[in-house]
Amino acid sequence: MSNINGFLNKLVLYVPVKLVPALLTVGFVFFLYRHFPKGDYVLYSVSLSCSLIIAQLSATWVGNSFVYFYSGADNKSSLFLNCLLLVALIAPFSASLAAVVGALVSNGEGMALSIWALCVAQILFFFTSSVCQAAFLVVQQLVAVIVQAVVQIGLIVALYSTAGISYGDAMAALTMGYGVAASFMLFSIYKNLRVSASLFDFFRFKFDVRSVYGYGSALAPWLLGMLVMAAADRLAIGHLQVFGGDAYLSLKDLFVGAGGLLSMPLLMLVHPLIIKRFREGVFESVLIQTSMSFLIIVFSLLWVTLVVVGFPLFERFTNKPIDVSVGVLLVVYVGVFLNCAAVYVQKRLEVHRKMRSLALLSLCCSLVSVGGAYAGAFAGGVGGAAVGVLAGQLMYFVFVGKSIIRKVSFYRGCVRPFAVSLCMISVGYSLNSLIGLTLPEMAWWVGEAVWSVVFGLLSMVVLWKGVAWADFASARL
C-alpha cells in the first residue's frame, strides 16, 4: 500500500507540471486563432514546429542521456555542469538551422530572428526540465512553468492592448516565457546540486561528453524521425497553403497540448523507474501495460468531451467556424494518441539500448508521413494530409509494439480498457442526447455545464476502477 501511495503522490505532483503548460497552450490557441489575420496561424504553427523540432533534437538527446546516467553518476554536479556546457555549445548552431528551415518552409519574411531566439530558449528549457526530472525537483518545475505562464500571458496581453497582436508578438511572448522559466530551473539546479565552476575538469568533460554521446547519438536521429513524423502535415499545409489550414492546425495544437497533459506526467515518473529497475535486473513491463490502459481510457474520455463540449465552445469563443470535418479531426486525434503511446511501448527497446533500430525505424516512418502528407494534401486537402501522417505513425506503433507484445497482457493493457472506452463513448453521446431532449429550452451553456459535471464524475469513477493502479506498486518506490 505504501508503494502505490508513494507512486500516486508523486504522480499528483507531476500533473500540475504539465497542466499549466497545457492550459497555456489551449489559451494561446484560442486567443491567437481568434485574433490573427487569416493565414498567420499557419505561419505561426509552422515556425513553432520548426523551432520545436530543432530544439528538442538538440536538447533531448543530452537530457535523456543525463537521466540515464544520473542515478549511477559518482559526481552528479559535475555531470550536470558538463552536459550544460555541451548544450550551450550546441544551441547557437541549432537555432540558426531552425531559423533557416522555418523561413524556407513558410516562405515568410522577417521570421529568422524570432525562430532563432525561441529555439535557444527552448533548448535550455528542455534540458533543464530533464535535469529536474532526473533529480525529482518537481516543485521547482512547477514554479518554473507557473512563471512561464505569467510571463507569456502578461506580455501577450500587454502587446495586444497597445497595438493588437501579430506573429512577432506571439513569438516574443513564447521566447520570454521559455527563457525566464529555464533561468529559474537553472538557478534551482545550481542550488540543489551545489554546482560551481571549480567542478569543471577538461578530462572529465571529455569523458562525460563521450558517455552522453555514446548513449544519445542514436537518440538524435530517432527523435528527428519522431518529430518530423508528427509535424509532416504542418509542413505540407504551410508549404502548399492548403485551404482550412488555420482551423486544422489550431485544433491539432489543442490535441497535442491535451495529449501531453494526459501522457507526460505519468511518463515523467515511469521512465526513470523503468531505467532504475532495469539496472537492478528487472524489466517492469507491468508499468507499460497499466500505462497503456490508462492512456486508452483517458484519450477516449477526452474525445467525447471535445465532440460534445470542446468543438462548440471553440467555435463560440473564436467566432469562427471549424471548416474541418469531425472525421478528419478524429484521424488527427488518433495520430496524436499513437505518438504519445509509442513512447511507452518502445521502452523495452530503449532500456536494451536498441536506439539504432529505433532511429532507423522512426526515420523510415517519417519519410512515409512526409510523403503521405504532401501527396494527401495535394490530392485531398487537410484530410489527405492527416491520413498521410497517420500512416507513418501507425506503422511505427505497430513495429515497436512487437517488441513488448509478449511481455504484457494484451487483454489487460488494450482489450479491456478499449471495451471500457467504447462503453463510455456511448454513455457520453447518450447523455448529451438525453439532456437535449429533457431540457430543450435551456441556454446552451447550461446543457454543456450539466453534461460536463455528470460525465466528469462518471469519468473519475471509470478511471479509478478501470485502471489497475495497484500494478504500479511493483515498481517498489
CB 395 within 8 A of CB 271: no
* C-alpha separations of 402 from 349, 361, 365 in Å: 10, 13, 16
Q: Residue 444, class by beta-carbon neighbours within 10 Å (0-12 exposed, 13-18 middle, 19+ buried)?
A: exposed
pLDDT (tens digit per residue) in 72-112: 777 788 888 888 899 999 999 999 988 888 777 665 556 78
Quote the pLDDT of residue 477. 46
The beta-strand segments (E) located in 159-205 are none
Instruction: Evaluate whether 392 touches 368 at the Cβ level (below 8 Å).
Output: yes
Within 10 angstroms of residue 318's Cβ, the number of other Cβ atoms is 19
Dihedral sign, CA of 8, 14, 16, 20? negative
In three state form, how does the secondary structure of 9-60 look? HHHHHHHHHHHHHHHHHHHHHHHHHHHCCCCHHHHHHHHHHHHHHHHHHHHH
Given a contact cutoff of 8 angstroms between Cβ atoms, the answer to whether 139 and 197 are in contact is no
Closest CA to 383 of 327, 338, 334: 327
- pLDDT of 7 above 70: no
Quick one: pLDDT band at residue 119, thresholds 50, 70, 90? very high
What's the pLDDT band for 380 if we cut at 50, 70, 90? Answer: confident
What is the tens place of the pLDDT at every residue in 426-460? 999 998 888 878 776 677 778 888 899 999 899 88
Q: According to the model, what pLDDT value does residue 279 have?
A: 67
Q: How large is the average pLDDT for residues 336-347?
A: 87
pLDDT band per the 50, 70, 90 thresholds, residue 128: very high
Which residue would you say has higher pLDDT here, 294 or 196?
Answer: 294
CA dist list (Å): 121 to 49, 176, 179: 14, 8, 5
Q: Stretch 153-158: mean pLDDT, rounded?
A: 87
pLDDT at 328: 93
pLDDT tens for residues 385-430?
Answer: 999 999 999 999 999 888 777 777 777 778 888 898 999 999 999 9
Which triple of cell numbers denotes residue 309?
Answer: 463540449
Residue bearing the bigger pLDDT, 6 or 193: 193
Q: How far apart are CA 308 and CA 429, in angstroms?
A: 8
CA distance 367 to 228: 8
- For residue 110, the model assigns a pLDDT of 62
131-136: average pLDDT: 82
User: Above 70 in pLDDT, residue 13?
Assistant: no
Assigned C-alpha cell, 14:
507531476
Average pLDDT of the residues of the chain: 82
